[in-house]
Amino acid sequence: MSILGNRVLRKEDQKFLTTGGTYVEDVPLEGAVHIVYVRSPMAHARIRSIETSEALESPGVVAVFTAQDIDLDPMPPGAPFANRAMTRPWLADGVVRFVGDMVAAVVADTRERAVDGAELVFVDYETLTPVVDASTAADNPTLVHEDAGTNVVLRLPDDFVSAGIEQVAAEVDLFEGCDVVIRQRMVNQRVAPCPLEVRASAAKWEDGHLTQWSTTQAPHSVKDTLVQLFELQPDQVRVIAPDVGGGFGAKIGGYPEELFVAWVSRRIDRPARWVETRSESMMTLGHGRGQIQEAELGGTRDGKLLGYKLTITQDAGAYPNFGAFLPVMTRLMLTGVYDITKTEFSSCSVATNTNPTVAYRGAGRPEATAAIERMVDIFADEIGMDPAELRRKNLIGKECFPFTTAVGTTYDIGDYEQALDRVLEAAGYAELREEQRQRRDSGDTKQMGIGLSTYVEVTNGIPGSEFGAVEVLADGKARVRTGTSPHGQGHVTAWAMLVADQLGIPVEDVEVIHGDTDEVPRGVGTFGSKSLQSGGVAVHQAAERVVEKAKKLVADLLEANPNDIELDKENRRFHVAGTPSVTKSWAELVEASGDAGLSAEVDFAAPGPTFPFGAHIVVAEVDTETGHVSLERIIAVDDAGRLMNPLIAEGQVHGGLAQGVAQALMEEMCYDDQGNPITANLADYAFVSAAELPSFETHPMETPTPINPLGAKGIGESGTIGSTPAVQNAVVDALSHLGVRHVDMPTTPIRVWSAIKEAKGDR
């Protein structure tokens, strides 16, 4: 019987729950200096002068660096197709562009002394007008980057066309034949990732070789950057990502604060380290989302959706990073689970004097789902049709897969109607609607809202190869090396299960090595819900090859045909079919293999991405007198293909649901009109806890994908993608009988209360 598909407890949890993990901050570095960055308190200003003499005289301060000391080229934009003139200096060179922009680096023998020294650096600023509102940034005469000549970072489809990338042509008359066309402006607000472990980095040089520790999702990517940055050979750089306390997409790339640690270490010839404060993390760790959406949806009065148009303004922040590229991912999933044949999409990513935006759990796909799911609910309300019925009427049928959407995205496989049926049945949808009717009739001040979301997303959206290796050791145990880099996903257990399934070696006897570029020769990292379907498949195939090698060796030893050799996984021994009395163990085979050993390496490249899907229902209670929203139930049906470990998958869904709820109800990174962040700590930035969440009702589905041998899709982001619009729809649904058409996220009490008052005023 295969171990795959069973609820196996995570083997890594014992460490985290007892002695604790080993994070960058825990790495001992004798004689290391500490770096503290002097950051701009202004969103947009010209630097007149920087006075560092007093800081240099402060006890323990070793050095103070400013832009004039740096011999590195500015960092190029981190988004493909972005305006290449919008570079980022390592330390602000003449102009600061957001609150938190680095102006100087103070290096001292202790962190406390570095903080004291940083407070003694005096910077004379000349205030410039900030660009804060993304909706007006494109036409704003004030430029975030004067050399760029514009605030436009990336425009679609124009920049794709100029790059020679084929685009699907839009219909001339998008809404021809439509009885009803609805329009809505929506804001998918900026959020802060808030990983439990803030960013940290440490570096040391020895004999021209650099070792860097980093809390990153992609250590090999950090290594590649350092190799290029310092013009080194690959074998001169080692990057280690020890235990990583959360990433959510924000820790994919190397930040200047982290990479600069290596420069400081080389410059002063001592190990160096940096760790940010929570306030720094809130202000300067890349933010997520940040879209303004103008949507139009047209169809017939009997519920057939015919045309959909989405126009996006994407806030890229001060220095274009992956956030500027998010609309590309939004466009990819434009029409969601619906068969809408006429579409139009355009976007404009703009620079503002705010913290740069990056990938954040879902990276462009939650924004697509939020837009279409809100529009479907508004359309249903407009024509007086139940939102579940409208969805069912327009779902892509399971017989249509593989299905290519109007924007050219090809979905691998799905059964959207079954997911919808399951969630409606699990929720008791008809009974909920009846209870809602009764509450409305009674005039209760606390009204029930029922929010529905049917979603599809893309995982491993930019397919590439991933490395996996399996080796059987002399004692009969196994070792796995993987290019993926876990930060909470449970890779150690999942990869051990894949090896145990093939080799019969118990999970507890399988060691998994990751996050060290000297131990793992190559790798891509962990993001985009790609790990199992790329790195996991590589490990699976490497284990298969080890078994095949072992069978050939056994055949030689027992003078038999390799095709007649069987592996008794229960007893971990090989024998000739029909002759179980003469066997060879893994340990015996390793000894017999000599220097060759028993190992295999695989670089697996999937032929394409996969498309998980599902349906969520949220039942909310809204106090119409105070605007307070409480969630009564969350029912989630999620299909991520074949599940290797349902327990781990369920944990991923739980985390995703919590983050999705948080965005819908409370999270928002806010700036005032001068570009000052006003939610820059966890006292002002609302953070979801168990107190705001009901017990989740999860119902897995399994529709294996043909894209990879495991039939697996990604699961890490699905919960977030499906839950956010379900919560938002539930809040609006509770108020729709009062005339409320839409409430932007986060649906805070003041927003809900204001929407009710406005609706009453309209009537």
pLDDT band at 1 (very low <50, low <70, confident <90, very high): confident
* Contact between residue 373 and residue 332 where contact means Cβ atoms under 8 Å apart: no
The pairing of beta strand 629-639 with beta strand 696-701: parallel
Residue 213 belongs to some domain of the structure:
no
Are residues 148 and 46 part of one domain?
A: no
Which two tokens mark 575?
């024998």
- At 165 the pLDDT is 66
Residue 756 belongs to some domain of the structure:
yes
Model confidence over 707-763: pLDDT tens digits? Answer: 999 999 999 999 999 999 999 999 999 999 999 999 999 999 999 999 999 998 854
The CATH number given to whatever domain includes residue 45 is 3.90.1170.50
Are residues 570 and 502 part of one domain?
A: yes
Are residues 695 and 684 part of one domain?
A: yes
Last residue of a domain, one of 540, 574, 605: 605
* Contact between residue 31 and residue 271 where contact means Cβ atoms under 8 Å apart: yes
Residue 280 belongs to some domain of the structure:
no
Task: Give bridge partners of residue 395 from the DSSP assignment.
Answer: 338
Residue 210 belongs to some domain of the structure:
no
Q: What are phi and psi of 213, to 5 degrees?
A: -100, 135
Q: Rounded mean pLDDT of the chain?
A: 96
- What's the first-to-final CA gap in the chain, in angstroms? 66
Alpha-carbon distance 559 to 702, whole Å? 43
Are residues 570 and 552 part of one domain?
A: yes
Which two tokens mark 631?
């969630």
Q: Helix crossing, 749-762 with 718-735: angle to 10°?
A: 40
Model confidence over 403-429: pLDDT tens digits? Answer: 999 999 999 999 999 999 999 999 999
Is pTM beyond 0.95 here?
Answer: yes
Which two tokens mark 61?
């301060």
Are residues 641 and 555 part of one domain?
A: no
Number of domains in the chain: 4
103 pLDDT exceeds 60? Answer: yes
234 pLDDT exceeds 80? Answer: yes
Residue 255 belongs to some domain of the structure:
no
What is the spatial order of strands in the sheet that 510-513 belongs to? 510-513, 478-482, 465-472, 598-605
Last residue of a domain, one of 545, 574, 605: 605
462 pLDDT exceeds 90? Answer: no
Are residues 48 and 84 part of one domain?
A: yes
Are residues 744 and 636 part of one domain?
A: yes
pLDDT band at 162 (very low <50, low <70, confident <90, very high): low
The mean pLDDT value for 553-563 works out to 96
Last residue of a domain, one of 548, 580, 605: 605
Alpha-carbon distance 641 to 39, whole Å? 46
Are residues 601 and 617 part of one domain?
A: no
Alpha-carbon distance 473 to 479, whole Å? 7
492 pLDDT exceeds 60? Answer: yes
- At 762 the pLDDT is 55
| DSSP symbol at 208 | T
The pairing of beta strand 598-605 with beta strand 579-585: unpaired
Are residues 674 and 620 part of one domain?
A: yes
The mean pLDDT value for 551-569 works out to 96
- At 254 the pLDDT is 87
The mean pLDDT value for 159-176 works out to 69
Contacts of 676 (CB under 8 A, 6+ apart): 43, 99
The mean pLDDT value for 363-390 works out to 98
357 pLDDT exceeds 50? Answer: yes
* Contact between residue 433 and residue 730 where contact means Cβ atoms under 8 Å apart: no
Model confidence over 183-227: pLDDT tens digits? Answer: 999 999 999 999 999 999 999 999 999 999 999 999 999 999 999
Q: In Å, how far from its chain's centre is CA 434? A: 38
Amino acid at 212: Q
Are residues 595 and 738 part of one domain?
A: no
- At 763 the pLDDT is 47
Are residues 123 and 161 part of one domain?
A: no
Residue 9 belongs to some domain of the structure:
no
Alpha-carbon distance 20 to 17, whole Å? 6
* Contact between residue 717 and residue 613 where contact means Cβ atoms under 8 Å apart: no
Residue 221 belongs to some domain of the structure:
no
- At 128 the pLDDT is 98
Residue 617 belongs to some domain of the structure:
yes
DSSP string, 593-658: HGGG-EEEEEEEE-SS-B--EEEEEEEEEEETTT--EEEEEEEEEEE-BS-S-HHHHHHHHHHHHH
123 pLDDT exceeds 80? Answer: yes
Element (H, E) at 667: none
Are residues 732 and 587 part of one domain?
A: no
- At 350 the pLDDT is 98
Which residues span the domain enclosing 59? 31-128
- At 166 the pLDDT is 57
- At 158 the pLDDT is 81
Element (H, E) at 398: none
Model confidence over 645-668: pLDDT tens digits? Answer: 999 999 999 999 999 999 999 999
pLDDT band at 163 (very low <50, low <70, confident <90, very high): low
- At 483 the pLDDT is 98
The percent of residues above 90 in pLDDT, for the chain, comes to 96
The CATH number given to whatever domain includes residue 170 is 3.30.365.10
3-state secondary structure of 519: coil
